[in-house]
Amino acid sequence: MWDPRSSSNPLPLTLDLDSAAYFRTLTTSLSRVKDFSNSRREKTLFSNSARLNANFTNIAPPPFQVVRDFCRNFIPEQARAAPDRITKLAKGINKLAGHLGNPSLAIPPLYDLVTRYPPNSSYLTTIHQIFLLACVTTRNFRSALPVLSHPIINIDLVNLSPELNYNDNLTYHYTGGIALAALKRWKEAEEYFEICVTSPGNYPAALQMEALKKLRLVQLISTGKVSNLPKYTHPLLVRLFKNTPYNAFINAYPNNSQLLREIYDKERHTFTQDKNLGLLLQAIARAPRWVLKKLTATYVTLHLADIGKVVKIDSEEEVRALLLSMIESNDISAQISADGSVTFSDPPPQFTKEQVDNILRDVQEQTALLGFLEQEVSRSKEFLSKAAKLNDSGWTPAGEEELFANMGGVQWDENMYS
């Protein structure tokens, strides 16, 4: 028999009966080991999901490190054969972390599940909203960023997440908007809230109304005004929103600071109950910025005292600090002189290297396209026939055309219009 450990013996061209039996036995053994390993993983998934959702007073939960190791090492293709168990496992991890007195413990294993279970990061699963709720309730907002940075564009209700429902989508984007707003990433938060608000349904959900309230406050903080909702937003949701104190707040924003304070004082209980008091106070604090920014569209020069009267700030030093803050954040372009006069100017255009490269690439593509079209036109029969007719008609240029035609060798001064 050929000895694989001996380098001096060449591999035989044919195997004897003993060799063939050996390899058959080896292949069968390896297959059994693989099946046993897969079976063990499946049993671990079923066991963990069952024990994590049991009553911990009667059945002891599995050690947290065992759950953590499973989430880190499970085979996604096999886990997708039992999507209901994956959902139970995710819910059980939250339950176990709470039982251990540290809800933040749930975030690492849930992150492993939400990033490893779907085929790629564009799929929405039942784990997504469980993971985000864990991040938001424990105020670990930054832990959600790697997941929130990937937009959701795919769902699989057949194999991947048959239990996924409409509310899971709303909850994911709503809690995602909360996490991003807490990190002051206003534009991204606005996008997540808007997805929640505009998700189609027969009747607007209560969560969509809450998302709309936060969306409007985020827009006021970010830009000083609200933008129109897409046309496919449920019309009943828009009508219901008009009857809320938030709509009155938007109508008074940012110019009428006294009315803003009155609405705040009168409806403070409502804003607190909606968990929007923090966003509302930020919007009120930023109102002078947007009033000041409107002045730049009307005036070229103003004194600090005049600006203070308009934005309702008595101290010139506070007005100066506000101006410097807006200049630093590129909200306005202005210069403050020693005597307190402020000169506004249009902000200089700013381009990143990526934007410049994209413009140059577009120019090159358009140039190449024009060259191609010019060649195609010059080859066309219609163009050639018209050119031949012009030559046969004995056409001569007009006086002005002849004058310019004879100036082909003249070098123009490039600075003539400067």
Residue pLDDT, tens place only, 114-159? 999 999 999 999 999 999 999 999 999 999 999 999 999 999 999 9
161 compared with 54, residue with greater pLDDT: 161
- Structure confidence at residue 47 as a pLDDT band (50, 70, 90): low
Residue 390: per-residue pLDDT? 66
**b/e per residue, 200-228, with b = 16+ CB within 10 A?**
eeeebbebbbbbbbbbbbbbbbbebebee
CB 90 within 8 A of CB 45: no
CA nearest 71: which of 55, 94, 54? 94
In terms of pLDDT, which residue wins out, 26 or 58?
58
For residues 294 and 332, is the Cβ–Cβ distance under 8 A? no
Reply yes or no on whether the pLDDT at 418 is more than 80: no
Q: What are the pLDDT digits (tens) for 385-398?
A: 766 776 665 555 55
Q: Name the token pair of 336.
A: 């403050």
Largest CA distance in the chain: 106
Between 47 and 162, residue with greater pLDDT: 162
Q: Whole-angstrom Cα distance, residue 174 to residue 214? A: 9
Assign 134 to helix, strand or coil: helix
Q: Which pLDDT does position 149 carry in this prediction?
A: 95
Give the pLDDT confidence score for residue 192 in this predicted structure.
97
| pLDDT on residue 59 | 79
Cβ atoms of 78 and 38 within 8 Å: the answer is yes
pLDDT of residue 26: 42
Whether the model clears a pTM of 0.75, i.e. scores above it, the answer is no
Of all residues in the chain, what percent are helix, strand and coil, respectively (each to 5)? 65, 5, 35
> How buried is 143 (Cβ within 10 angstroms: 0-12 exposed, 13-18 middle, 19+ buried)?
buried
Mean pLDDT of the chain: 83
Q: Is the pLDDT of residue 83 over 70?
A: yes
The proportion of the chain whose per-residue pLDDT surpasses 70, expressed as a percent, equals 78
137 CB-side CA count, 13 A: 15
The reported pLDDT for the residue numbered 45 is: 60
Q: Is pLDDT at 274 greater than 60 in this prediction?
A: yes
d(CA 300, CA 335) in angstroms, rounded, equals: 11
